[in-house]
Structure 1
Amino acid sequence: MFSHVFVSVSDFERALHFYGAVMDSLGIELRFCERDKPWAGWHCAGGTRPFFVICQPYDGQPHQPGNGQMVAFAAASRAAVRAAHQVALENGGTCDGPPGLRPQYHDNYYGAYFRDPDGNKLCVACHEPTLDGA
């Protein structure tokens, strides 16, 4: 469905550190990083698209996080959701909803919400049931 998703950042090196750690925890591979532009993009292991890309605003204006905008990443397990959330917090992110079931979305929705250092809202979610109830 998607070709790519861009998220604007104000401090590229800070964002690269943050997103590099979160993406590593989810097994999402860095596809390119061009510090001179600056921009970097990731995709799922072995894939080519969609890309998730960070960059400074193209128009040169200051970054502004969107109200009501969020990017959600799929996780293979509930443990991966918890790990990604913890990694985000350890690398400058802020909690916007701790890991847990969100039955208002569906019975097996297990997600965590956080903001990157620029205030962009992110989610990591697992949609799979678990056998052990964790």
Structure 2
Amino acid sequence: MYSHMMVGSNDIAKSKVFYDALFTSVGGKAGITDPKGRLVYLHNGGVFLVTPPIDGKPATCGNGMTIGFTMADTAQADTWHAAGVSAGGKAIEDPPGWRGEGAGALYLAYLRDPDGNKLCALHRAG
């Protein structure tokens, strides 16, 4: 039932630098700006948008919310994480690495975007 994900931003130009770096680091394209001033990213059948809040109030991050992006392998997750940090994101939680064990093992890399939204690169063990 998933169709898209949208996050708010208080600085679209800064968000474009950050998200362009994230998505191009894993083979995606830079975002386009639609007529409403939103950034639109299309990659692997998913749609991700960044927008100034429609109500005109400041954007805030969701407490307890994490947006996860599937990665092909651990190297792609590491590249994504490094690109995000170098483009103004903040590394959070444990360093990128494996969590869990056996078939439930996950390789995770966490970031906060410039507006504080929590993002995760995820690769599942074979």
Runs of 4+ off more than 2 Å: 28-32, 104-108
Going from structure 1 to structure 2, the CA distance change for 1:84 and 1:31 (only over 3 Å counts) comes to closer
Report what 2:25 is aligned to: 25
RMSD: 1.9
What is the Cα deviation at residue 23 of structure 1? Answer: 0.5
Q: Does the 8 Å CA contact 2:16/2:31 hold for their aligned counterparts?
A: no
2:106 pairs with 1:109: yes
Report what 1:132 is aligned to: none
Of residues 88, 99, 106, the one that matches 2:96 is: 99
**Number of equivalences:** 125
Report what 2:76 is aligned to: 80
Q: Does the 8 Å CA contact 2:31/2:39 hold for their aligned counterparts?
A: yes
Alignment partners' CA distance in 1, 2:42 and 2:27: 9
Report what 1:124 is aligned to: 121
Structure 1: which 5+ runs fail to align? 130-134
Going from structure 1 to structure 2, the CA distance change for 1:61 and 1:27 (only over 3 Å counts) comes to same
Alignment partners' CA distance in 1, 2:31 and 2:7: 16
Report what 1:2 is aligned to: 2
Per residue, is there more strand in 1 or in 2?
Answer: 1
Q: TM-score, normalised by structure 1?
A: 0.84
Going from structure 1 to structure 2, the CA distance change for 1:60 and 1:102 (only over 3 Å counts) comes to same
Structure 2: which 5+ runs fail to align? none
